[in-house]
Structure 1
Amino acid sequence: MEQVTGYETISFNAVSVPPPKPLPSSREMWWEDVLNHSSQPAHPRVSEKMARQALLEHVKNHWCYGEGAAKNMAITKLKYSSAFHYELQTFTEKRETSWKFIPYSGGDVDGAENGPAPLPWDIDLRPSCLFKNEEKFITVPHTSSVKPCHRCKTTGHVVCTECYGKGWVRCQMCNGYGYRTHSEQRDRCINCSLSHNGPGRQDCFECDSKGKLTCSACDSYGQIQCSIQLTVTWKVNTSEHIAEDMALPEQLVRFVSGQVAFEEEGPQVVPLQGFPDEAINMASAQLVQDHLMKYQDQRILAQRQQVRVVPVTSVRYEWKGCDGEFWLCGYENKVYAPDYPQTCCCCCSLS
């Protein structure tokens, strides 16, 4: 293939092209920042009656749980706390280039005679919207040329790989003998008796007994049109951190309802500072730095971060002389009771 200025290192395998370093002025915001610095929401107060009712609903969803413990346990203490769910999303644009070819059946070709090819990041392509995974493929202008087909050497066809060009294959029923033996009799093999290629041979169905197949590379035209393909991928990259001190399953905190206490969106966010939970501040600093390092070969178009506060109620109880604890998570009071005292087998602890 001829070398194209700015594309000297590409091949038929896609190669990522790092974006040019931005100019100082190019960091200006090109859309409105969305900021919401809410105060930490108040914790909903769960009563003893509400806690017991939530546990009873949880028990009903597990056929091997008994209701007696939920109905008769003495609730001794309710403790209110919160779990924090921090999420960072980075919307990136990745550009990759590679050679591609298609069958050439005639017509105009946009080649180097029409001008120099634009560099990958000089081609104006934009996502349909922010924070949505998307992919586009375009042919780089002025990079097309017509070449003889490399697969069929311009003949338009290739040798059939089933019959190796013979047009027939050995009959599997008679093993190529043309007849079958039954006791002391020999009968003509009915499987290959109608073959155009004689007894013991079956017509090749792959090539219709022609011994050759249409070349898939050039579609029988004998020529291909080569050009450089630009693949642009927009992707939402998400990282998160959950901070809580009750050893709750992260999956539980992730999917129950909560309230957004902080959210920010812009071309590039800065790590959180001054959030009431220091673990969230530290996680934000780490994840923001990780994203900047991880996506250096891509262009960061936008970032957004959010902190959700999930209410958690710890419920201490006593039943038949034993102390226990379960938790209510989210505004829907999702129950987490890994040590429910009245079970007859091992079941999941999430309702």
Structure 2
Amino acid sequence: MDRDPSDDDSVADLSFEAESPVASPAELLEGLPSYDWLQGHGGQVFFPPLETLTRPREPVSWSSVLDHSRVPLVTEEVAREALLSFVNSQCCYSSAAAGDLIIQELRQQTLCRYRLETFSESRVSEWTFQPFTNHAVDGPQRGTSPRLWDMKVQMPPMFQEDTRKFQVPHSSLVKECHKCNGRGRYKCSGCHGAGMVRCSSCSGTKRKARQSRRCHLCSGSGRRRCSTCSGRGNKTCATCKGERRLEHFVQLVIMWKNSLFEFVSQHHLHCPRELLAKARGENLFRDENTMVYPIVDFPLQEISLASQRGISEHSAALASRARILQQMFLPSGSFHHSW
């Protein structure tokens, strides 16, 4: 006998909706006390003014730095060994030609590379929720929520990217589940609350096609128990997990990012840029501070201009969405040989 959904009023008035957690409507959380700093719903970026430089600029004698740079000497033996190593790393290359190759001339070319890393922190606030299980709630009655940049958190090591989430103190509110209207369950989408569905074997005719005997899968009823809800006619609310109420709270999302600017001086090498980026060189100078200064009076003007451009680009890109925690620049010289 088919189940009549009207026999259970608690099931009949359950709305038929998608069976997945959904975000709470914006109007549910409007006008809450102590939340004037939370601008809008769905996430707001907060950032403090950029900090000033913490130390005066110290002049750098680039001539002395360059004088101490040691240009590595590459002999014919070293060059041939490097060529053979490359050939042997390729599956279809023959080493015979590389071994017999006559090296007539070795020419050296020096490149300078400028690299700027900017480690920044951005903070975003957003409403989120979890099922309320009668646990202790840290709500506005316990005090005013701190501003997002006033919350002290453990930072990752400098220049190491990470994302962490924290619950803002005194921001919790308990509300009836907006998905199931506080019932903890909703009508099954498979049987529409009936608990029974048409038999797939006999298509509800109670008998097999071209057979006089009744369908053995549904015992001749034409109906079978709904496998989606196991015949209950309803399912546990996926939003509140059947708890009927939700704890809404403000969540702080902190993102630590490392921005990179890199520039290589002009050269006449027929070499892919990605290979040049991997080349090793001599570190000429290193500066690390909350904010670094552009390089001035460098022997190569394009390096000085690149440092100004890199610092300007990072400051402009991050000023509206993050706080710069640390910067580091590293000009280096890479020495390449061709023959």
**Scaled by the length of structure 2, what TM-score is found?**
0.80
Q: Which runs of 5+ in 1 are unaligned?
A: 316-351
Asked if 1:179 is matched to 2:207, the reply is yes
| 2:45 pairs with 1:16 | yes
Instruction: Work out the CA distance in 2 between the residues paired with 1:244 and 1:187.
Output: 89
* Of 150, 174, 177, the match for 1:146: 174
* Aligned residue number for residue 45 of structure 1: 73
Rounded to whole Å, the distance in 1 between the matches of 2:61 and 2:229 is 67
Structure 2 distance, partners of 1:291, 1:264, is 16
The CA distance in 1 between the partners of 2:214 and 2:246, in whole Å, is: 48
Match of 2:324 in 1: 300
Q: Does 1:250 align with 2:273?
A: yes
Q: Secondary structure at the match of 1:99?
A: strand
Match of 1:6 in 2: 36
What residue number does 2:286 align with?
263
> What is the match of residue 225 of structure 1?
247
For each residue in 1:277-325, what CA deviation from the matched residue of structure 2 results, as whole angstroms up to 9, or x when unmatched? 322222211111000000112110101111232220011xxxxxxxxxx
Secondary structure of 2:298's aligned partner: coil
Is the CA contact 1:271–1:284 (under 8 Å) kept in the aligned structure 2? yes
**For 2:215 and 2:101, how far apart are their aligned partners in 1?**
83
**Structure 2 residue matching 1:179: 3-state secondary structure:** coil
SS at 2:258's partner residue? strand
In the alignment, the residues of structure 2 paired with residue 48 and residue 239 of structure 1 have an alpha-carbon distance, to the nearest angstrom, of 36
Distance verdict in 2 for CA 1:52–1:160, change over 3 Å: same
Asked if the contact 2:160/2:256 (under 8 Å) is kept, the reply is yes
Identity %: 30
Aligned counterparts of 2:61 and 2:189: Cα–Cα separation in 1: 65
Structure 2 residue aligned with 1:284, among 283, 290, 307? 307
CA–CA distance in structure 2, aligned partners of residues 187 and 77 of structure 1:
96
Amino acid at match of 2:157: C
Task: Verify the 8 A CA contact 2:50 2:323 in the aligned structure 1.
Answer: no
| Pair 1:23–1:89, CA change in 2 (3 A) | closer
Q: Which position in structure 2 is the counterpart of 1:201? A: 223
Q: How has the CA–CA distance of structure 1 residues 221 and 251 changed in structure 2, closer, same or farther, with 3 Å as cutoff?
A: same
Cα offset for 1:127?
0.4
Q: Counterpart amino acid of 1:259?
A: E
SS of 2:169's equivalent in the other structure is coil
**Structure 2 residue runs without a partner (length 5+):** 1-28
Matches within 5 A, 1:25-174: 27-28=53-54, 39-40=65-66, 41-174=69-202
Q: Give the letter for the 1:309 counterpart.
A: G
More helix by share: 2
Measure, in 2, the Cα distance between the counterparts of 1:36 and 1:223: 68
Does structure 1 conserve the Cα–Cα contact (< 8 Å) formed by 2:282 and 2:332? yes
How far is 1:190 from its partner?
A: 4.2
Residues 56 and 5 of structure 1: is their aligned pair in 2 closer, same or farther, counting only changes over 3 Å?
A: closer
Shift of 1:187: 4.7
Q: Deviations over 1:225-255 (max 9, x none)?
A: 1111111111212221223411421211222
- Secondary structure of 2:36's counterpart equals coil
Indicate if the aligned counterparts of 2:130 and 2:240 stay in contact, CA closer than 8 A: yes
Q: 1 or 2, which has the higher strand percentage?
A: 1
After superposition, the Cα gap between the structure-2 partners of 1:73 and 1:212, relative to the gap in structure 1 and judged at 3 Å, is: same
TM-superposition CA deviations, 1:193-232 (whole Å, max 9, x none): 4xxxx73333222211111111122221211111111111
* Matching residue's letter, 1:287: G
SS in 2 for 1:142: coil
- The structural deviation recorded for 1:258 is 2.4
Give the count of matched residue pairs.
Answer: 301
For residues 85 and 61 of structure 2, what CA distance do their matches in structure 1 show?
36
1:306 counterpart SS class: strand
The answer for the alignment partner of 1:340 in structure 2 is: none
CA distance in 1, matches of 2:239, 2:91: 61
Supply the distance in 2 between the matched residues of 1:173 and 1:280 (Cα, whole angstroms). 77
TM-score by length of 1: 0.77
User: SS state of the match for residue 304, structure 2?
Assistant: helix
